[in-house]
Amino acid sequence: MKKYLLISMTLLLVASCAKEEIPIPTALLVEELDLTLVAEGETYRNRFYTTAASVGIAIPEDAAQWLHASIDGGYLLITADRNASIGIRSAALKVVTPERDATINITQQGLPTKLIKITGGAPSSTASGEGKWEYTWDGDRTTYWHSNYNSPSAQYTDHLLQWDLESGAGSLDLIITYPRNNVGGANGRTGYFCIYVKGDGTDVPGGIDGEEPDWDWGEPLGSVDADGYKLVYKGDDTFKQNAYGGPTIIVLPTPIGHPTGVKMLFRGGPAGAPGISRGGHGSLAEMELYGKVG
């Protein structure tokens, strides 16, 4: 059962006296009974009319932190605060009079493109005493993860990173990867790399638009691994020769619905081999994932 917070308000009505009192049903008319509000927040003036002497507004308790309403003359002022999540939220607001009620269904969109929260994951290795794995999603691009210097996944081996995602994203559309950007610290900047995503339909091979790169390292686009992650993107050695290291922005040609996980695989190898990470090591400053509401 929903709990409601009741905001009581009184309308002053002027009625003419009649010789005989004839009961007249209370009128209650609301112009819009279904409202969709934007994620950034807005106030909507919803016209209404009633013959009732008093009017109340009932807001569900679980929506009272973001949904507000008041009466201004012949209008209901309905305000939704900014929705900082990617998910849609909704509530049923009630206009209450002594004899009848009216329900207004409020839907507020989530942000159309939102940073998807990373909740955990694992790398193939982490260097003891240097870059922590959590640094790849701490929001600080001056910190970075670094692979172990010893086996497994040491220098000259391929590096596999996997992130778990908070549920609620309608799709994964955009990925931004940041290499370590400390001057003189180029170890581990990626060479050839692959991006895998797990979500709706990723357990079915194929279905990824895009051209295969000239290099043949890694599986073909649209391949699915044993854990249900689909290979959705293959990138060139963007960072390897950069003196300082800038971000790579990846717009997925085929967005993945309701993503739950992302993997990044990049190539290690001996010095001079094509497409390897800098020095054959692994490092990454930040992984940012952006999605749209469902």
**Same-domain status, 93 and 58:** yes
**Same-domain status, 153 and 14:** no
Range of the domain at 224: 114-292
pLDDT of residue 11: 44
Q: Give the model's confidence band at 10: pLDDT under 50 very low, under 70 low, under 90 confident, else very high.
A: very low
**Same-domain status, 133 and 274:** yes
Tens-place pLDDT, residues 129-186:
888 999 999 999 889 999 999 888 888 999 999 999 998 888 898 898 988 877 667 8
- Which pTM was predicted? 0.63
**Same-domain status, 183 and 51:** no
pLDDT of residue 14: 41
**Same-domain status, 159 and 260:** yes
Alpha carbon of 212 to those of 155, 189, 199: distances in Å?
Answer: 27, 22, 22
**DSSP H helical ranges for the chain:** none
**Same-domain status, 212 and 145:** yes
pLDDT of residue 82: 84
**Same-domain status, 224 and 174:** yes
Lowest mean pLDDT among 16-25, 119-128, 181-190: 16-25
Higher pLDDT, 249 or 184: 249
Q: Where are the beta strands (DSSP E) in the chain?
A: 4-10, 28-30, 34-37, 42-50, 54-60, 67-72, 75-80, 89-96, 101-108, 114-115, 118-123, 145-146, 159-165, 171-178, 193-198, 230-235, 248-257, 261-266, 283-284, 286-292
Lowest mean pLDDT among 55-59, 216-220, 240-244: 240-244
Average pLDDT, the chain: 86
**Same-domain status, 279 and 142:** yes
Tens-place pLDDT, residues 38-53:
887 899 999 999 998 8
Q: Give the model's confidence band at 292: pLDDT under 50 very low, under 70 low, under 90 confident, else very high.
A: confident
pLDDT of residue 94: 94
Tens-place pLDDT, residues 257-281:
999 999 999 998 887 788 888 889 9
CATH number for the domain harbouring residue 237: 2.60.120.260
pLDDT at 190 over 60: yes
pLDDT of residue 232: 95
Domain boundary among 80, 108, 136: 108
Query: How many domains, in total, are found in the chain?
Result: 2
pLDDT at 69 over 50: yes
pLDDT at 3 over 60: no
**Same-domain status, 103 and 119:** no
Domain boundary among 50, 85, 108: 108
pLDDT at 234 over 80: yes
Domain boundary among 51, 81, 108: 108
pLDDT at 55 over 60: yes
**Same-domain status, 154 and 8:** no
Burial, 34: exposed, middle or buried (Cβ in 10 Å; 0-12, 13-18, 19+)? exposed
pLDDT at 17 over 70: no
**Same-domain status, 57 and 121:** no
Percentage of the chain lying above the pLDDT 90 cut: 52
Q: Give the model's confidence band at 244: pLDDT under 50 very low, under 70 low, under 90 confident, else very high.
A: low
Q: How far apart are CA 11 and CA 19, in angstroms?
A: 24
